[in-house]
Structure 1
């Protein structure tokens, strides 16, 4: 899960990334690994952007630039799929920062856009992060302002709902330890042994009377289909 905050809408006119938040999922389950940094954009903060995320130029001036932390960011991202809400926005900003540092861009095909995913699933409906949180009854009460790591965390819950939701009944049971107990502090698994009484197989061959009755019935059928004729 990845989210950024910026100084504006267009990196080609000088807008910069000021915050990044990432949260790792493996097999759709959060691992607890996160990445969160503020960046000094080395420019002013427009009032419109400040109203969105509340990050002032004064606050950001005490943080490193993107270039100082770029190696840490790229190492965290690795070659993973990047799940992003409105991916084209965040990707163009990240790739502009990389371009300014003389680095190769991140290919767009690494990004999975949850806005596009939501529009396909709910055509005509609102697909903002807040709207999807309301749809899926995800608590976003701590989102009075946009924040990259908060939004990445909410996006993880939204993404899981968009791809079908959490289905714990379909997940494999916890692995057992060598003593038969569940791993990771789960309850021990109890296996009940059931004694079954052995019974000889029942015969299914017809009796002599049944065979004679069946033969007599067949004699009454004129032109049977098994002799090439049509039954009457």
Structure 2
């Protein structure tokens, strides 16, 4: 089925999860999206935290800072599935490392038995900014933080990953990378949060990243046990994917350059 996008509508999307890979039963715990029409932010966004009915890995919590306790009482995906689907349907989705997020979104719909929604490419087109960046900057680091530095995008508030914040930053990176527009009024600056795509909803303000002017954080080095656990997790990822993790491949490529 061909996806029609007659209004030049794009949704910049990001998720946070309990861990990875999705085949280990990990779930989405945060979805953040901002809407673009004609390369302009409309102010509409979708943002929600989700109860995954399982605990997050410690490593994942270290990345996004969303604790198991924080998610108690949050809605389950089933409660927001229709609203989320209506918000993204027919749009071009702009995602950094799209296979990760797309896989998790497809899985959430599959767990609900919604067979008409289990393949996101049947009702959206998908643009992967990581793949785009690799084609433009082969052999270089192309993480979101690296792209912010390369294109002069301010990400000073990004001390932890967060789906809404990262989608806002990615919108800025994408527009700069593809056309040069930079100064944006981002929807997430509102104290309102999740919901119908009109910028409403209270949850967005519950986790906020601290300003860049805070004192430098204390650096805690990983213990030998933690490093061993990290290496074990990388081995699991490599076995599941049939190849080393993408960032491992990039580091190896840089080392051999």
- Asked if Structure 1 and Structure 2 have the same fold, meaning a TM-score greater than 0.5 normalized by the shorter chain, the answer is yes
Match of 2:4 in 1: none
Pairing partner for 2:25 from 14, 22, 25: 14
> How many angstroms apart in 1 are the aligned matches of 2:72 and 2:89?
28
Aligned to 2:180: 165
Pair 1:140 & 2:155 matched: yes
Give the Å deviation of 1:163: 1.2
Shift of 1:111: 1.0
Q: Contact between 1:42 and 1:61, CA under 8 Å: does it hold in 2?
A: no
Q: Is the 8 A contact 1:22 1:34 kept in 2?
A: yes
Which structure is higher in RCO with an 8 Å CA cutoff and minimum separation 6? 2
2:68 matched to 1:57?
A: yes
Secondary structure in 2 matching 1:138: coil
Where do 1:1-232 residues align within 5 Å? 1-103=12-114, 104-105=117-118, 106-107=120-121, 110-166=125-181
For residue 167 of structure 1, report the CA deviation from its aligned partner. Answer: 9.0
For 1:9 and 1:167, the matched residues in 2 are separated by 33
Query: Is 2:17–2:56's contact at 8 Å kept on the other side of the alignment?
Result: no
Asked if structure 2 preserves the Cα contact closer than 8 Å seen for 1:85 and 1:129, the reply is: yes
Show structure 1 runs of 5+ residues with no match.
169-232
Counterparts in 2 of 1:16 and 1:135: CA distance versus 1, 3 Å: same
Gapped regions of structure 2 (runs ≥ 5) = 1-11, 184-257
1:166 is displaced (CA, Å) by 2.1
Q: Secondary structure at the match of 2:135?
A: helix
Q: Cα deviations across residues 93-129 of structure 1 (Å, max 9, x unaligned)?
A: 0000000011122117711000011111111111000
Give the alignment's TM-score, normalised by structure 1.
0.70
Shift of 1:54: 0.6
How many residue pairs get aligned? The number is 168
TM-score normalized by structure 2?
0.63
Q: Deviations over 1:125-177 (max 9, x none)?
A: 11000000001111101110000000000000110122131299xxxxxxxxx
What is the CA–CA distance in structure 1 between the aligned matches of 2:20 and 2:130, rounded to whole Å? 17
3-state SS in 2 of match to 1:5: strand
1: CA distance between counterparts of 2:70 and 2:27? 15
Report the Cα distance in structure 1 between the residues aligned to 2:73 and 2:163, rounded to whole angstroms: 18
Change (3 A) 1:73 1:137: same
